[in-house]
A and B are shown apart, each in its own frame.
Chain A
C-alpha cells in the first residue's frame, strides 16, 4: 500500500498540469463553499464538463480538490456573515460569528482553517489506510452479500434523512422507479420507454444529480430574496491564532474528526450532520459548556474538524462499494463512470494507479486548501461580494454544457430541467432528496444481485439469510428500521400527550 501511495505521489509531482488543476479545484471549491446559497455540489456540477477531456487521474483529482475546498470554504461566510456557506458549516456560525463580532474575526478564521486542516488530514489518512483493506474484504462478496449491503444502505439513508421514515422510504423507491426506465439488467428488456429511442438508455446519473442538486439549488436561490450582505472586517496576522488558543483542544480536534469520519461513512448524511453532532459532543464533554455559543475556540474547532473529516469518510464507501456517502460523492461517482471506471472492490485492482494518484492529490489538496485560505483570505472575502445575478445564470449555462456534452443531445438538457423541477417539488413537499439519489444509483446493483443470487441458489431466497455477511447486514437493516420506527412512535405519542395536556 505504501509503495502504491509513494508512486501516487510521484505521479502527482511529476505532472505540473495535475498540480495546477488541484490548485484550481481547491480555489473553485473554496469560492463555492464560501458563497451562501451555492454548495460544493453546484461547483462540482459546473466544472464536471471541464474534466471530460482530461486524463482520468487529473480530472478526478480536480473534482476531489473542489470537494475538499468546498467543505472548508463554508467557514468564511459562517464567520464573517453569520450565514453558513454550506450546510456543513452551520455549527461554525455558533461560535465563529460571536468571535467575529467581538473583533476576533482573524483568529476565528485562522482557527477554522486549522480545524479544517486537521479534520481533512485525519479523514483522508483513514481513507487511505482503510479503503484498500475494505476493498480486499468486499472482494469476498457474492450477489447475496452485495444485495444485503445495498439494501442496508438504502434503508439506512431513508431512516436517517428527513423526519418521516415512510417518506424517506418512498423517496428511495421513487428513485428506484426512475432508474428502471430503460433497459433491464441481465436480459435488456425495454421498460417504461413509451416507444422513445432516447429513453432506451434511461436517464444518465449526472443528469439526475445535476438537475436535482445544482439546477434546483440555483433556481431556489434565484427565487429567494436577494439580500445585501454585510461582510465584517477582519485582520489576520500569520496563522491568526497562537499555540495558547489550541491548549486543551487536541482531544476535541481528534474526537470531532473521528465523529465526522464515522458519520461521513454512513450514506447520505455527511458533513451537514457531523458538524452539529461534533459540536454537541464537544459542548457536553466540556468543563465550561456555558461558554459555548459566546465565541470560543472549542466549538469552532469541533465543527470544522468534523465536517472536513467527513470528506475522507464519504469517500470510503464510494471507493470500496460504489455507494456514495453524500451528494458531492454522488457527483464524483458520475465522474468516475464518465472516465470509464466503476467504483467498487475491483477498482483497486483494475485502476489502482489512478486511485492512489487521487489519494496523493487529496493529501496535497488538503495542504493547498490550508495555504490558500491562510494566504488568500482577502481574495475569498472579496468574492463574497460577487452578486448572485451574475453567478446563477453562469452556473446554469455551464451545467447545460455538461448535460449536452454527455451525448451531444438536447434531450439530456430537458432531463436537467425535469429533475430541477422535481428537486424543487421534493423540497417544497419535504421529501428528502438523498434517498432518491441513492435509490436511483443502487437500483441496478440491487436488481442485478437479487436476480443473480436467486439464479445461483435455484430460486431459493433463504440463502440470503444463511450466508453470514449477508445475514449481518439484514439484521442491521431490521435494527436501524425498527429503532427509527419505535423512536417516531414514541415521539408522536409524546406530542399527542402534550396536546391533550394543553
Chain B
C-alpha cells in the first residue's frame, strides 16, 4: 500500500469514527416540541449530518480499498536486499526511507520548526492572561524569531530581534489599549 493510499484510508477511518461518535452524541441533545411534531427538532439535523458523514466515509474507504486491490495486481516486488526501498509502479518512483538521527526522521514527517512553533504558541497562550500581554508577547516574538532565523545569521540578528520584540510588544499594547480602546491583560506589570 502506498503512503498516499494509507493517508486516504486514514481519512476515511477518521471520518467513520467521527460520524459514529457524533451520532452517539445526538442522544444527549434535549428536544423540545411544544407545537407537536410537525417538523424537525434540535436532534434531527445533527443526526442527518452524522448519517451522511457515515455513508460518505464508507464510500471513501471502499474506494481506497478497491484502488489498493487494483494496484496490487500491477505491483512489483521490492528490490531484493534493500528493505528500506519501496517501489511503486503506480507512481513509477522509488522512495528511500529516511536515514540518520531520530530528529532528522521526525523532521521529515513533521518539520521540527513546526512542532516548536506550536509549542511556543501553546506556552504563549497559557501565559497570556497570567503574566500579561507585554511580557508573554516579548518572549514569544523573541523565541519564534530566533527559531525561524537561519542559524548562520542568528548572531547578526540577535540585538535587532531582542529590541524589536520588546519595542513591538510595548508599542502594540499601548496602541490597542490607549488608542483603540481594547482590553489586553496587563498581568504582573499591571
Which A residues lie at the B interface, using CB under 8 A? 49-50, 52-53, 164, 166-167, 169-170, 173-174, 176-177, 180, 184, 186-187, 189-192, 219-220, 222-223, 226, 387-390, 392-394, 396-398, 400-401, 404-405, 408, 410, 413-414, 416-417, 420-421, 424, 428-431, 443, 446-447, 450-451, 454-455, 458-459, 496, 499
Q: How far is the CB of A237 from chain B (nearest CB, A)?
A: 36
Closest to A417 in B: B121
Q: Are B11 and A429 in contact (CB under 8 A)?
A: yes
> A392 to B144, Cβ gap below 8 A?
yes
- Does any Cβ of A come within 8 Å of B101's Cβ? no
Report B-chain residues with C-beta under 8 Å of the C-beta of A170: 11, 15, 53, 56-57, 60
Task: Please determine whether B10 and A223 come into contact, CB atoms closer than 8 angstroms.
Answer: no
Give chain B residues whose Cβ lies under 8 Å from the Cβ of A164.
60
In order of increasing CB-CB distance, the 10 nearest A-B pairs are A454-B39, A389-B148, A189-B42, A223-B114, A393-B144, A184-B42, A223-B111, A389-B149, A455-B39, A447-B45
Q: 8 Å CB contacts to A: which residues of B28-50?
A: 29-32, 35, 37-46, 49-50
Given A392-B144, A393-B145, A177 and B113 contact (CB-CB distance below 8 Å):
no
| Contact indicator B150/A226 (Cβ below 8 Å) | yes
B56 touches A166 (CB 8 A): yes
Partner of B18, one of A177, A189, A388: A177
**In chain B, what residue has the closest Cβ to A448?**
B45
Give the residues from 125 to 145 in chain B that come closer than 8 angstroms, CB to CB, to chain A: 125, 128-129, 133, 137, 140-141, 144-145
Q: Which residues of the other chain, B, contact A191 by a CB distance below 8 angstroms?
A: 25, 29, 42, 46
Are B118 and A173 in contact (CB-based, < 8 A)? no
* Alpha-carbon gap, A50 to B164, bound state (A): 21
A166–B111 touching, CB < 8 Å: no
Asked if B39 contacts A451 (CB within 8 A), the reply is yes
User: Are B117 and A53 closer than 8 Å at their CB atoms?
Assistant: no
Q: How far is the CA of A174 from the CA of B11 in the complex (A)?
A: 12
In angstroms, how far is the closest chain A Cβ from the Cβ of B4? 9
Are B144 and A396 interface neighbours, CB within 8 A?
A: yes
Q: List 10 A-B contacts (CB under 8 A).
A: A166-B56, A170-B11, A174-B18, A184-B42, A387-B149, A397-B137, A408-B183, A451-B39, A451-B44, A459-B39
- Residues of chain B at the chain A interface (Cβ within 8 Å): 7, 10-11, 15, 18, 22, 25, 29-32, 35, 37-46, 49-50, 52-53, 56-57, 59-60, 63, 70, 74, 90, 111, 113-114, 117-118, 121-122, 124-125, 128-129, 133, 137, 140-141, 144-145, 147-150, 157, 161, 164, 168-169, 172, 176, 180-184
- The CA-CA distance from A388 to B147 in the complex, in Å, is 11
Give the CA-CA distance A408 to B185 in the complex, in Å.
9
**Given the known A-B contacts A184-B42, A417-B125, A451-B39, are A52 and B144 also in contact in the complex, defined by CB atoms under 8 Å?**
no
- Tell me, in angstroms, the Cα distance from A301 to B40 when the chains sit together: 52
Measured in the bound complex, the distance between the Cα atoms of B35 and A459 in whole Å is 12
Among residues of B, the one whose C-beta sits closest to the C-beta of A166 is B60
B128 touching A167 by the CB < 8 A rule? Answer: no
C-alpha spacing A156/B61, complex, angstroms: 23
12 further A-B contacts with Cβ under 8 Å, apart from A173-B52, A393-B141, are A169-B56, A173-B53, A180-B46, A189-B31, A388-B148, A389-B161, A393-B140, A397-B140, A401-B182, A401-B184, A451-B44, A454-B39
Q: Nearest-CB distance from B119 to chain A (Å)?
A: 11
Contact A166 B63 (CB under 8 A): yes
Known interface pairs A170-B57, A393-B145, A394-B168. Does A180 touch B117 (Cβ–Cβ under 8 Å)? no
Whether B180 contacts A190 by the Cβ 8 Å rule is no
Which single member of B63, B113, B125 contacts A400 (CB below 8 Å)? B125
Closest chain-A Cβ to B45's Cβ sits at a distance in Å of 5
Question: How far apart sit A57 and B163, CA to CA, in the bound complex (Å)?
Answer: 37
Whose C-beta in chain B lies nearest to the C-beta of A168? B56
**B161 contacts across to A, CB distance below 8 A:** 389-390
Q: How far is the CB of B33 from chain A (nearest CB, A)?
A: 8
Query: In the complex, what residues of A have CB within 8 A of residue B56's CB?
Result: 166, 169-170, 173
Give the residues in chain A near B60, CB-CB below 8 Å: 164, 166-167, 170
Q: Which of B10, B29, B124, B150 contacts A190 (CB 8 A)?
A: B29
Give min CB distance, A335 to chain B, whole Å. 15
The chain B residue sitting closest to A401, CB to CB, is B176
